[in-house]
Amino acid sequence: MQCKYCGTQITKKDTRCPQCGRAIVRPEKNIRPIAIAGVVIAFVGSAFPMIMNSNADLKFQPAFGFMNYESPWMWYSFLLLCVLSVVLCAVKLEKFSIAPTAILGVLCGITYNNVCLRHGAPGMVMGLAPILIYAGCAIGVIGVFLDVLKFKKKEISTDYRYTGHKTVWQRIYIYRWFYLMFLPVLVFVIIFNYLPMTGLRYAFMDFKSGSEPSYVGIKHFVDMFGLSEISKLSSKQFMRAFGNTLTLSVIKLAMNTFAAVLISLLLHEMKNIYFKKSVQTIIYLPHFMSWVVVASIFKMALSANDSGLVNSLLMSLGVIDKRIDFLTSNNLWRGVYYVVNLWKDTGWGTILFLATLSGISPELYEAADIDGANRFNKMRYITMPALANTIITVFILNLAKVMNLFESVFVMYNPSVYDTSDVIQTYIYRQSFASSGTPNYGYTTAVGLFKSLIGCILVLICNKASKKVRGRGIV
């Protein structure tokens, strides 16, 4: 390695150039993502059963894994070592993470052996845990030696713009007050977001109100994906809810965005400032109504009985001779749902677009006027390009939230339209509260976990898209 100022050869241990005396800035070492991925695989694997019944129709019950292993400290030390490994990798001391990662495998082996001795019986097979953990450990160890990131183009780091060659500790000292400022946020996030996240382990447990949580391995995932005869129906309902969630929220999002853009464009053309402001105030109004109120208004209007206003009106005008069941027909329900969503949220959605439009320099339009461009040419060549970035931003930010669709559906649907309206969140709600038995929170947690995973993938895709489009991610 050479000093970049004078070209003198310098050794690994030098902190200053022997020739010119300047501080040496060494290139940052790359992190080892594969090593971390390996540990994460092992971490996830530890939730799965070590051994379990081989009968799918019994939903692989009973199952034994770390979570119901007789000495819980085995699992705790396992998790602790996972944390240690990841931390070591993160602070770029990945060489030292080989040891804890290897111990993970050893712990797994010991536990597996003991579990087999105690619970091994004919009909029991090895579960996913040993496979995932051993694979994870192997990847974790090998990954330490694979510097995959050096093949990627280096990003220009913005981190050290001002502080120059100060060490990390110096910079931490400079920013000490900022850590203090962040403390409340961190405390809130830890208490209200991260502490409850430990509840995700219930996805592998039976957790009924009134009885102790008990480890059941992959029982709930069997139910979700219909791997046994008895789970076919719940799986069918779950998959349908999953499909509906994507369809409903994506189409809703597309329609709302399109309508909002259209209205913003037209509103932008509005010359009279008072008229424009009154219209804006009016179209924002529905956003301040809660969903239950909106639903009760529209249900009243669209009902298929004598009191439904729309049906009565159409009947008296002679447009139809039979009442239309807007709310109970699988063919019409989605249409009604989209319309109600348009009514409620289009106005609110225009805020961003209007703001963008008002940011376009008037000079551009004046120049176009001189060139003799008409209104539509101006829209085509000036307005739309300016708006495109915002449209994509809004679309991406909202796409990340599509799995959370709940209240708007919950207040509008009914059993006759489950086929087209049931979404993941309403499915979870019914599994929790609308059963005539006591709910199993283990199952709903498993569904929620799956929902989170899909949401996570969507966010990552959006983040990627966002980087492409805007040059930076969502956060």
Partner 1 sequence: MAQTTAVYVKKKRKLKPFDIVNAIIFIAISIVILLPIWKVLVDSFDATSGYGLSFLPRKFTAEAYRMAISRADLYRPFLISILVTATGTFVGLMLSTLGAYVLIQWEMPGRNFLSYVLLFTMLFSGGMIPTYIVMMNLHLTNTLWSVILPMGINVYNLVLMRNFFEGIPASLDEAAKIDGCTPMGIFFKVVLPLSKAALAAIGLMFAVSYWNDYTNFKIYITNNSLFNFQMKLRSMVMDSDLPMDDGSLSPNTLQNAAIIIAMIPFMIIYPFCQDYFVQGVNVGAVKE
Partner 2 sequence: MRKMSKFAACVLAGVMALSLIGCAKADGTGNSASVSSTGTSVSASTSKEADPAPAEIVKPEKITVMWDGTIFKEGDNYAEEFYKALSDALGIEIDFIRPDHSSYAEHIGITFNDKEKLPDVVILPANYYTAFAAQGNLWNMTDAWLNSETANSGRLVDAAKQVIDGWYVNGPDGQKGIYGFYPARGNGCITYVSAAWAKKAGYATEDSLPTDWAGYQEFLQKMKEANDGKAPVLAAGGLFNREAPYTNYLPEFWQGAYPDFYQDANGNWVDGFATDDMAAALDRIAWGYQNGYINAAILEGPSTSDVRNKYFYAGETGVFTYWAGTWAYNNMTNLAKNGLDTECWKLMPLKEMGAYYERMSPMIAITSACKNPEGVFKYFIDTMLDGGKVQMLWQYGVEGVHYEWNEDHTKINGLVTQSSKGSEKESKTTKNLFEANLKLANFAEVDPYTPADEVIDISFNFFNKYSKAAPAPVSSDVYNDYSATLWTERQELSAKVAKGEMTGAEAVAKYKEDCEAISNAVIASFK
- Of residues 39 through 98, those in contact with partner 1 by CB under 8 A are none
User: 167 or 272, CB closer to partner 2?
Assistant: 167
Nearer to partner 1, 2 or 281 (CB): 281
Rounded Cα distance between 92 and 287, Å, is 49
Min separation Cβ 175 and partner 1, Å: 4
Q: Name the segment binding partner 2 (CB under 8 A); options: 177-185, 210-218, 262-270, 349-357.
A: 210-218
Which of the residues 359 through 418 are near partner 2 (CB under 8 A)?
Answer: 413-416, 418
**Nearest to residue 294, comparing CAs of 404, 402, 412, 406?**
412
Site for partner 1 in 403-462 (CB under 8 A): 432, 441, 444-445, 448, 452, 455-456, 459
**Least distance (Å) from partner 1 to the CB of residue 40?**
13
| Residue 299 site contact among partner 1, partner 2, none (CB < 5 to 8 Å, cut-off depends on kind) | partner 2
Backbone φ and ψ for 381, nearest 5 degrees, come out as -105, -15
Q: Which of 306, 331, 363, 370: binder of partner 2 (CB under 8 A)?
A: 306
Residues in the chain: 475
- Binding pattern to partner 2, positions 25-44, x when CB under 8 A? ---x-xx-x--x---x--x-
Contact with partner 2 (CB under 8 A) among 145, 179, 194, 275: 194
Minimum CB separation of residue 116 from partner 1 in Å reads 32
Residue 53 contact among partner 2, partner 1, none, beta carbon within 5 to 8 Å by kind = none
Q: Which residue has the tokens 């770390």?
A: 66
> Which of 6, 20, 131, 189 touches partner 1 by CB under 8 A?
189
Site residues for partner 2, 109-138, by CB under 8 A, read none
72 is a contact residue toward partner 2 (CB under 8 A): yes
Per the listing, tokens 């052996």 go with 113
Nearer to partner 2, 27 or 164 (CB): 27
| Shortest reach from residue 238's CB to partner 1, in Å | 16
Choosing from 159, 212, 229, 363, the residue that interacts with partner 1 (CB under 8 A) is 159
Burial of residue 166, with CB atoms counted within 10 A of its CB: 0-12 exposed, 13-18 middle, 19 or more buried: middle
Structure tokens at 350: 């225009």
Task: Examine residue 455 and tell whether it contacts partner 2 (CB under 8 A).
Answer: no
DSSP structure string for 46-60? TTSEEEEES-GGGTT
Tell which positions 78-97 bind partner 2, by CB under 8 A: 79-80, 82-83, 86-87, 89-90, 92
Which of 181, 317, 319, 370 lies at the binding interface for partner 1 (CB under 8 A)? 181
- Alpha-carbon distance of 209 to 306, in angstroms, equals 43
Single out the residue of 252, 398, 403 nearest to residue 333, CA to CA: 252
Complex with partner 2: residue 11 or 305, whichever CB lies closer: 305
Distances (CA, A) of 432 to 205, 429, 436, 438, 447: 15, 5, 10, 8, 11
| Residue 203 in the binding site for partner 2 (CB under 8 A) | no
Helix, strand, coil proportions of the chain in percent (round to 5)?
A: 70, 5, 30
Q: How far is the CB of 297 from partner 1 (least distance, A)?
A: 5
Q: Which stretch binds partner 1 (CB under 8 A): 145-153, 238-246, 259-267, 322-330?
A: 259-267
Taking CB under 8 A as the rule, does residue 192 contact partner 1? Answer: yes
Strands 214-215 and 124-126: unpaired
Distance of closest approach, residue 95 Cβ to partner 1, in angstroms: 22
Among 101, 111, 234, 346, binds partner 2 (CB under 8 A): 234
- The reply on whether position 172 binds partner 1 by CB under 8 A is yes
Cβ neighbors of 355 (< 8 A, separation 6 or more) are: none
Q: CB–CB of 25/164 below 8 Å?
A: no
Asked if 2 touches partner 1 (CB under 8 A), the answer is: no
Q: Is 183 helix (H, G, I), strand (E, B) or coil?
A: helix
User: Does 237 help bind partner 2 (rule: CB under 8 A)?
Assistant: yes
- Beta carbons of 330 and 417 less than 8 angstroms apart: yes
Phi, psi for residue 228 in degrees, rounded to 5: -125, 165
Q: Phi then psi for 333, rounded to 5 degrees?
A: -60, -45
Q: How far is the CB of 23 from partner 2 (least distance, A)?
A: 22
Which bin fits 182, alpha (ψ -120 to 50), beta or left (φ > 0)? alpha
> From the list 48, 204, 441, 450, which residue makes contact with partner 2 (rule: CB under 8 A)?
441
* 23 lies in the binding site for partner 1 (CB under 8 A): no
Nearer to partner 2, 190 or 355 (CB): 190
- Residue from the set 68, 234, 245, 356 that interacts with partner 1 by CB under 8 A: 356
C-alpha span between 381 and 296 (Å, rounded): 44
Where do runs of H (alpha helix) occur along 144-231?
A: 168-174, 176-189, 195-197, 219-225
C-alpha span between 462 and 253 (Å, rounded): 14
Note the maximum CA span of the chain. Answer: 97
Q: According to the binding rule CB under 8 A, does residue 318 interact with partner 1?
A: no
For residue 345, what are its two tokens? 């949220």
Token output for 149: 């990131």
CB-hemisphere CA count at 13 Å for 159?
9
